Structure 1
Amino acid sequence: MIFSPFLDPWRTLAALVLEAAVGYPDRLHRLIPHPVTWAGRGISALEQSWNRPDWPAAIRRLLGVVTLVLIAGSAALAGLLIDFLLPNSLLFALITVCLATTGLAQRSLYTHVAAVSAALEQDDLPRARQAVSKIVGRDVSALDRTKIAAAALESLAESFCDGVIAPAFWLLTCGLAGLFAYKAINTADSLIGHREPRWRAFGWASARTDDLFNLIPARLAGCLLAAVSGGGWRVMWRDARKHDSPNAGWPEAAMAGGLKIRLGGPVAYDGAPHPRPWFGDGTLPDAATLRRGLGVYLRACFLFWILLAAGGLTWRH
């Protein structure tokens, strides 16, 4: 095969480079909605049908497992069929690279965080709050400049794992099946993997599976951020485990340490205060810090590309 479905650093690198160059254009999205929205619609439909509050928690937990298996299994099967049924030719290898870009989010992540940064630099707080509301789930109406910058940096660090490193890792190790399954699992976690009473039982499987699938990628993401920021290692090893999530703390603490700032701290969701630990030392971030964080992100992406290229040069199928 020109491109092997598994352990092919060149295909993963090609998908990352192509996605960074063009992303998923709005005109294409209007014509063909992004595949993640397909999974989201399926998950939402099953949740509305099966997550009945009058049903026992054990039944809803079981149906949550079935929901995850149906959605992630369908995604994995689609990836397997594409990888193994397409003819062995350069044209179809390029098609699989194009399809792989739909599971990556380097460009869109940068674009969304850069919009927050631009608004902060222009001292336009209403626009900055609106921009940051697109990438975080916390209440943003009362956020000041430092809290907006902190929210954007935390999202940038965590999404570097969820949107770049983790999908690329599963593409590399398990082909399109791994990539598509990961995106389905990650989407399920974002929609139903919450601790609130409505989703606690039904979304349990999605949340735990997402934790499992991010174990290695989150630590890799943290190491990449620490490596390119000129620091962050000490803070990452010290603070990563403070986070409620077994994974999100690694890239967030690495970003905080690399920029020599503090991230985390108490926030509010749906009007309810939510205590969180602090990550890192030093001052709170500002607009200039957010711009530096975007530079760290770009360098971390590029370092990941270099590692994949090195793997491609040394790996032999």
Structure 2
Amino acid sequence: MKLLIHPPFSVLFFLALAGDTFWGGRFYRFHPVVAMGRTGRWLERLILRTVSRPWLLRFWGMLLLFGVVLLFGAGSVLFLFVLDHWGQADLAALLTVFWGYQLLAGKSLEDHLEAVYSPLVAGDLSGARAALARIVGRDTEELDLSGIVRGAIESLSENANDALVAPLFFFALGGVGLLMAYKSVSTLDSQVGYKYLPYRDLGWASARADDLMAFLPARLSLLLLLAFFGFSAARRRGVSFGTICAEAFGSRLAHPSPNSAHTMSAFAALLGIRLGGGASYRKTWTPKPWIGTGREALFPDDLSDALRIFRRFRMVLLLLAGVWGAADLVFHLVSGRG
């Protein structure tokens, strides 16, 4: 009976992932990332109004990062500790599930990519461009069919780590506190981690912290994708599993970011396509290396295949979380802790 009232963390982890898998993001008014974004934006504007020197911007950028991470990471841990200390362990457990569910974005990512795919297969390129523009930073106005598909698959593959694997990694490693800390860093990086002024200096610490925190999850994502889908992709493409792995590992560093190309390279190898190759940002063409060795011309079916891989990936991760939770429950029952 005790296990039903106060289940182990592994069960809370599974419930949070199940909520994201089947329901997706809700309760945006009370969403931690919204609060992180508003806090970061307010502090960013305050700093930019009062500071202009590059070295001072870097210094205040480090304080900005430290403050937001401390507020949400340590703050969430302290809040849960206080609830538990006051005899509200059940409420603390519910909040752990709720916050974990909110901070996972696998279903939301899939929904945004479905919004690109639906008009694409209907021949509505302008609608597909508009849907893509809501999730990417590149210019989408002049993209052709292949460019839309490439942008969509790149967004899906890169965010497979950022929206799902990395949050799960930190949630499993350090509970809600470490998950909140990671999402704080990721949110600040998306707000101020740019290479143009004044963010080049203000966002320097956030960008470096994001690179550091995403280092292990990005590589784990590549390995998991190859382990789960590499053999079936090899059969479908008529090549060996070794070829799939060689393609994925061969392009995993073909990106200015030390982490972004890992999952993109895995998807490119699984699908037999090329990603990357450059894009237009703020009306300026930015060349990038090609990721993958497959065909360059892309079609809606490629996006459909990528979405299918991502759906199955989410279900496999949920299955593994379920096995962990069930094993933990059995262990507690056998050891007499339940």
**TM-score normalized by the length of structure 1:** 0.92
Identity of aligned residues (%): 33
- The higher radius of gyration belongs to 2
C-alpha contact 1:135 1:155 (8 A) present in aligned 2: yes
Query: What amino acid sits opposite 1:282 in the alignment?
Result: G
Question: Matched residues in 2 for 1:115 and 1:53: separation?
Answer: 41
C-alpha contact 2:51 2:57 (8 A) present in aligned 1: no
Question: Offset of 1:90 from its aligned partner?
Answer: 4.5
Question: Matched residues in 1 for 2:189 and 2:166: separation?
Answer: 14
Question: Matched residues in 2 for 1:19 and 1:100: separation?
Answer: 9
Q: Tell me what 2:256 maps to.
A: 244
Q: Tell me what 1:14 maps to.
A: 15
Question: Matched residues in 1 for 2:287 and 2:324: separation?
Answer: 42
Question: Offset of 1:56 from its aligned partner?
Answer: 1.8
Question: Matched residues in 2 for 1:85 and 1:254: separation?
Answer: 43
Per-residue CA deviations over 1:56-77 (Å, capped at 9, x if unaligned) read: 2111100000001111110112
Question: Matched residues in 1 for 2:105 and 2:51: separation?
Answer: 38
Q: Tell me what 1:158 maps to.
A: 158
Question: Offset of 1:3 from its aligned partner?
Answer: 4.6
C-alpha contact 2:80 2:92 (8 A) present in aligned 1: no
C-alpha contact 2:189 2:210 (8 A) present in aligned 1: yes
- Consecutive unaligned residues of structure 2, counting only runs of 5 or more, are 234-243, 333-338
Q: 1:292 aligns with which of 293, 305, 309?
A: 305
Question: Offset of 1:85 from its aligned partner?
Answer: 2.7
Query: What amino acid sits opposite 1:244 in the alignment?
Result: P
* 2:133 counterpart of 1:133: yes
Question: Offset of 1:294 from its aligned partner?
Answer: 0.3
Question: Offset of 1:53 from its aligned partner?
Answer: 8.8
Per-residue CA deviations over 1:10-54 (Å, capped at 9, x if unaligned) read: 3222111112222223xx33xx25221211111111111213596
Q: Tell me what 2:116 maps to.
A: 116
Question: Offset of 1:190 from its aligned partner?
Answer: 0.3
* 2:301 counterpart of 1:253: no
Q: 2:46 aligns with which of 32, 49, 52?
A: 49
Q: Tell me what 2:101 maps to.
A: 101
Q: Which structure has the highest helix share of the two?
A: 2
* 2:37 counterpart of 1:40: yes
Question: Matched residues in 2 for 1:85 and 1:277: separation?
Answer: 50
SS of the residue aligned with 2:65?
A: helix
Question: Matched residues in 1 for 2:89 and 2:188: separation?
Answer: 34
- Consecutive unaligned residues of structure 1, counting only runs of 5 or more, are none
C-alpha contact 1:186 1:210 (8 A) present in aligned 2: yes
C-alpha contact 1:61 1:201 (8 A) present in aligned 2: yes
Question: Matched residues in 1 for 2:273 and 2:227: separation?
Answer: 16
Query: What amino acid sits opposite 1:65 in the alignment?
Result: M
Q: Matched residue pairs, number?
A: 310
Question: Matched residues in 2 for 1:36 and 1:174: separation?
Answer: 18
Q: How does 1:216-227 map to 2 (within 5 A)?
A: 216-227=216-227
Query: What amino acid sits opposite 1:17 in the alignment?
Result: A
Question: Offset of 1:183 from its aligned partner?
Answer: 0.8
Question: Matched residues in 2 for 1:76 and 1:155: separation?
Answer: 27
**TM-score normalized by the length of structure 2:** 0.86
C-alpha contact 2:275 2:291 (8 A) present in aligned 1: yes
Question: Offset of 1:198 from its aligned partner?
Answer: 1.6
Q: Tell me what 2:239 maps to.
A: none
